[in-house]
Structure 1
């Protein structure tokens, strides 16, 4: 399969269109245009999941349709799919039956149009030891049905335990100027030690770091962001200080705050004891993709300034609500 790394713009992967959460998904035509644009610009790390949508219509259906229309693109893409949940629920199921159901369903929906390069359980099932869950997935790798295994939102200890059962190809975690946990909890250091790349989801802080939302009332009425603690009205004005400071640097450099945010991630990739880090910003238009694949080039002084901003304006509120937060870094 293609390598889970890249160079230049190829280092910026994508969770595209219906491949991620969208209250009002774009049309198939718009989705296909954006996906085609991403691949043409070297962004070939695509990330989707059973959970992005309903069991009847999710990102796997869109992928099937895309690769049916563009079959020659299939071998150019590294496809990672999240599953391992109870169908229609955000409840982890890392049991043998749960893993088998999830992988079999993913393979069924792809229908041979695209090889499933990586499969990961969206969260660790607290009722099933992670080494057992990984062993169930590994059976599919050994059978040639999967290319490899990745993990999502796991602790450093879980990464080590899983890696002893089967080599882990990637670890997907939230990472951005809005969420720096992995730099402090051993996840990034462990991945660097074991040679495992990190897939950074929500590298733009769920849209916060784009400058799209300047006040709480800017959130769309049907936005999932209303459910996240960091976007609540009582903390929004405090958190906006971080964005304002980032926008100041962006203005000085003649770029967008999103390009600063992506540049900050890539400036750390593979340096200072950190692993390769591949951000996967979601996008619904070709224009936004073209912006995202041009991350700002940040020097030592820029990174120092951003570090000072993070120290001065710490983010207020958890990444998820209490129940979901409990499943992070398990």
Structure 2
């Protein structure tokens, strides 16, 4: 199922830039540019960036500036999604009109005209600021042509309805994977279908659980940010491997990687939900890009098997640490 954002067609699998900007394990700029080029060459022309991906002095926007300085003609080929209005350092959104304007102006300044912002969205909802206020502020930039369209991130079904009443919404970015299917039961997927809004599915590999690289808690080094997340805690880690093992069985029979099965399952939700679902896996190296973007189609039988697994294998632990959970699906 094809999708377009801001009038531009996007491929079936996108690219999440956060993996290139992890402060604890940052990919050198030149290597990151090579990885982005490989992603585009493999068909991933929807790039998911964030003002807070990295540091204030070097984040995904600086990387985009560097990339398009080197490859200026690619700016016409890539659809750029930017999340802003949130500081992970302060763990606090800034979604009021002033916060939105400050965020967009900063993003535009860093990009310096090297590429467009095709989709802009507040990274998280702010319980203290109505979504209508946030959307109206972004809409000011859409009207002047400085931003291509408006998206929503980590939102509830009610928020989608309120936002659509103010301005068309071009995409909704939410977590979706074999580990996280909440949007299927909380009304988000149904509401996206109602309004014909494409879904950008982040963390389709459940932060690495579905890569097969993690077999025990100690496989994550002491600085690994995932050690903060509930699903990776020692008391539930082994239990969550049960789902990994089931996905691995399907992959072995199919003759592909677990990563490819996991991404294919997310992409297959386009049909069941009724709107385009674009997985946006991240990758820190070209080899990972190639694996992520190799298209695999799951049969009806394989989808049924995986859905049956989801019905009997319990995922233990919440999605985010307590400090972030208050901003989930506002």
Equivalent residues in 2 for 1:192-211, closer than 5 Å: 192-211=193-212
Map of 1:313 onto structure 2? 313
Map of 1:297 onto structure 2? 297
Give the drift of 1:304: 0.8
C-alpha separation in 1, matches of 2:274 and 2:322: 29
3-state SS, counterpart of residue 144 of structure 1: coil
Distance 1:273-1:280 versus aligned 2 partners, 3 A rule:
closer
**Which 4+ stretches in 1 moved above 6 angstroms?**
none
Give the drift of 1:114: 0.4
3-state SS, counterpart of residue 168 of structure 1: coil
Given the alignment of the two structures, is residue 140 of structure 1 paired with residue 175 of structure 2, yes or no? Answer: no
Give the drift of 1:87: 7.9
CA contact (8 A) 1:13 1:46 kept: yes
Identify the range of structure 1 (18-27 vs 74-83) with the bigger mean alpha-carbon deviation. 18-27
C-alpha separation in 2, matches of 1:87 and 1:326: 13
CA contact (8 A) 1:260 1:295 kept: no
Identify the range of structure 1 (133-142 vs 15-24) with the bigger mean alpha-carbon deviation. 15-24
Output the aligned Cα RMSD. 1.5
Map of 2:281 onto structure 1? 281
Map of 1:16 onto structure 2? 17
Give the drift of 1:3: 4.8
Map of 1:94 onto structure 2? 95
Q: How many residues align?
A: 326
Identify the range of structure 1 (285-294 vs 238-247) with the bigger mean alpha-carbon deviation. 285-294
Map of 2:168 onto structure 1? 167
Map of 1:69 onto structure 2? 70
Give ranges in structure 2 of 5+ residues lacking alignment. Answer: none
Give the drift of 1:274: 3.0
C-alpha separation in 1, matches of 2:54 and 2:159: 28
Give the drift of 1:273: 3.8
Distance 1:86-1:32 versus aligned 2 partners, 3 A rule:
closer
Map of 2:260 onto structure 1? 259
Map of 2:53 onto structure 1? 52
3-state SS, counterpart of residue 36 of structure 1: helix
C-alpha separation in 1, matches of 2:312 and 2:8: 35
TM-score (normalised: structure 2): 0.95
C-alpha separation in 2, matches of 1:64 and 1:273: 35
TM-score (normalised: structure 1): 0.95
